[in-house]
Amino acid sequence: MKKVGESRESPAGAPQEEFVAGERSTRNRVARSILDHGPSTVAELAGRLGLTQAAVRRHLDALVADDVVEARKQRVYGARTRGRPAKVFALTDCGRDAFEQSYDKLAVDALRWIAEREGGQAVAAFARARVAAQAHAYRKAIEAAGPGKRTEALAKALSADGYAATARSAPLPHKGEQLCQHHCPVVHVAEQFPQLCEAETEIFAELLGTHVQRLATIAHGDGVCTTFIPKLSQNDDRSTNASASTAGRNPA
């Protein structure tokens, strides 16, 4: 769950760390109760958790501020009674994502199903199609970049997709740049299906117009995904070099 309420002052005499930890734990219990029981009123939450309604409201205010829960009008089924509909609190998409998910397992199961029925080439085709769809925004960013800024532009575009990417000069004696991805959102899937990494390497070569070489991947146990992009000479034929990408882990 998110860490919320850390900036609030603790009651007099209470250690700040203990107060914050207690607030966070209770706040998580409130959110968990909504997850387990669905949209809930303040009274329902207070009854389930053994808290006062005032305490529940305080925690809900913090959760709403952090976009973990949102207030809604209670949906009424059948004949409506007099009075205003009760307000209920439900998890937002952001709040729901803070709990356990099975997306990685689902993706692995789907790719394994494809591989068993259609073979590894079908998985590779899926990986290329997936990366190609992502590459539309990357291509626009690269085309808008000035000379010598193409790798940096790609890094920024990748970072917008959660890859925490940076570009830097390659260490000597190599002449070129290194594209470093410090995070991989699909690492658990890529560990079992390296076709995802291979397709990504191919699209980098196409986007940058030169052969590239993958030196390391997080999925293989390395700390950072690192791709070497050699410096282009003025006589380089970009369309020819783009097809010469290599997925090897170590430079020759």
DSSP result, 180-231:
EES--TTHHHHTT-THHHHHHHHHHHHHHTS--EEEE-GGGT-SSEEEEEEP
Q: What are 46-89's pLDDT values in tens digits?
A: 999 999 999 999 999 999 999 999 998 866 544 455 556 678 99
Can you tell me the distance from the alpha carbon of 193 to that of 125, in angstroms, rounded to the nearest whole number? Answer: 12
Can you tell me the distance from the alpha carbon of 200 to that of 209, in angstroms, rounded to the nearest whole number? Answer: 14
User: What is residue 93's predicted lDDT score, i.e. its pLDDT?
Assistant: 82
Can you tell me the distance from the alpha carbon of 174 to that of 227, in angstroms, rounded to the nearest whole number? Answer: 13
DSSP state of 245: -
Of 232, 194, 231, 233, the closest CA to residue 214 belongs to: 194
- Residues forming a β-bridge with 147: none
Terminal-residue alpha carbon distance, the chain: 45
What is the pLDDT of the chain when averaged over all its residues?
Answer: 83
pLDDT at residue 135 greater than cutoff 60: yes
Least confidently predicted of 2-11, 17-26, 65-74, 157-166: 2-11
**Roughly what angle, to the nearest 10 degrees, separates helices 120-144 and 150-160?**
120
Least confidently predicted of 10-14, 30-34, 189-193: 10-14
pTM of the prediction?
A: 0.64
Cis before 173? omega within 30? yes
pLDDT at residue 196 greater than cutoff 80: yes
107 pLDDT band, cuts 50/70/90, is very high
Whether residue 57 contacts residue 93, with contact meaning beta carbons closer than 8 Å, is answered with no
Amino acid at 113: W
Can you tell me the distance from the alpha carbon of 225 to that of 219, in angstroms, rounded to the nearest whole number? Answer: 8
Q: How many residues does the chain have?
A: 252
Least confidently predicted of 35-44, 203-212, 225-234: 225-234
Q: What are 139-175's pLDDT values in tens digits?
A: 999 999 987 899 999 999 999 999 999 999 988 887 8
Whether residue 72 contacts residue 88, with contact meaning beta carbons closer than 8 Å, is answered with yes
Can you tell me the distance from the alpha carbon of 236 to that of 242, in angstroms, rounded to the nearest whole number? Answer: 10
**Alpha-carbon torsion (235, 238, 239, 243), positive or negative:** positive
Can you tell me the distance from the alpha carbon of 193 to that of 195, in angstroms, rounded to the nearest whole number? Answer: 5
Amino acid at 8: R
